[in-house]
Amino acid sequence: MYQSSWNNYALLFDMDGVLISLKSRWIDPIEEVITKVKPSYDIDAIKKESPSLVLVTGGRSNMLMLQGILQVCKVAGLSRFQTFKVIIYLSSMLITRKKFKIIPFDGVIDILNNLREMGFNLALVTSASKKTIKHLKKQFPDLYNKFNCVVTRNDVKLTKPFPDQINKALAMLQITKENAVIIGDFASDIKAGKNAGIRTVAVLSEYPGINKKILEKTNPDFMIENISELPEIISDIFVITK
């Protein structure tokens, strides 16, 4: 039996790699800076590993970004001094925000519109900072305004894969766990969903070759190429037993 009205259901979305390009916002700038610091670094190693390293380590919110960058620098074979230079360069770029571009995927707003018209409550549950979300709101208000609530890394002590962000979003929406699903492209998203006791949808996104192997290990309830497939599987996600 399938639910015909979705007013008491919630879809929780990760942002980078699900709604906007992870490559444009993080991977490209990091690769550019590493190239400047060490032109001879192993490009293939970074292209293979960086999508799985950036922003996948959960924990205390103020350490997330540094942990991801340090891991990427390690894979690139950078010395401590070179790693320090990368952090300085990236910090400067973050202040000016010239490189870390927010680029929504094609059709995202239409998909979210469709889901809202079906009655779903939508939440943005992201490891991004409040500052980044302010830029999202300013640059793409039509995208930002699709969400009933937003939970950033600054709103909780522990981020994904811990369940804190999900629990906070569900409390804000007043939605029960059995009526919620998280949609994410990283293992930490799926693990957070499982730790919170809700359904999970893994998105292969921009790096399907890398992501599929990683995400399969987390045993998500569903796996899709991108969120354009989400409306097609909604009824399968929320099957109600008689």
Residues 91 and 121 in one domain: no
Residue where one domain finishes, among candidates 96, 121, 136 = 96
Residue where one domain finishes, among candidates 58, 79, 96 = 96
Residues 189 and 138 in one domain: yes
Burial of 239 (0-12, 13-18, 19+ CB in 10 A): exposed
Q: What are residue 198's DSSP bridge partners?
A: none
- Alpha-carbon radius of gyration of the chain: 18
* Residue 96 or 183, more confident: 183
Q: Which domain holds residue 43?
A: 23-96
User: Nearest-CA neighbor of 4 among 146, 170, 113, 120?
Assistant: 120
DSSP strands (E only) in the chain = 10-13, 121-125, 149-151, 180-184, 199-203, 222-224
Q: Give the model confidence (pLDDT) of 142-173 as tens digits.
A: 999 999 999 999 999 888 999 999 999 999 99
Residues 14 and 78 in one domain: no
Residues 156 and 221 in one domain: yes
3-state secondary structure (DSSP) of residue 59: coil
Does a structural domain hold residue 113?
yes
Q: CATH number of the domain that 160 lies in?
A: 3.40.50.1000
Q: Is the pLDDT of residue 49 over 70?
A: no
Residue where one domain finishes, among candidates 63, 96, 129 = 96
Question: Which of 55-69, 161-175, 189-203 has the lowest average pLDDT?
Answer: 55-69
Q: Strand 199-203 relative to strand 121-125: parallel, antiparallel, unpaired?
A: unpaired
Between CA 202 and CA 193 the distance in angstroms is 10
Supply the pTM of this predicted model: 0.85
Q: Please, which pLDDT band fits residue 48 given cuts at 50, 70 and 90? A: low
Confirm if 218 and 194 have CB atoms less than 8 A apart.
yes
Residues 124 and 173 in one domain: yes
Residue-averaged pLDDT of the chain: 86
Residues 30 and 63 in one domain: yes
Number of domains in the chain: 2
Residues 6+ apart with CB under 8 A from 184: 13, 14, 17, 18, 160, 190, 192, 193, 200, 201, 202, 203
Residues 48 and 127 in one domain: no
Residues 114 and 15 in one domain: yes
Residues 68 and 179 in one domain: no
Between CA 153 and CA 219 the distance in angstroms is 24
Amino acid 93: pLDDT: 76
Does a structural domain hold residue 32?
yes
Between CA 231 and CA 224 the distance in angstroms is 11
Residues 79 and 140 in one domain: no
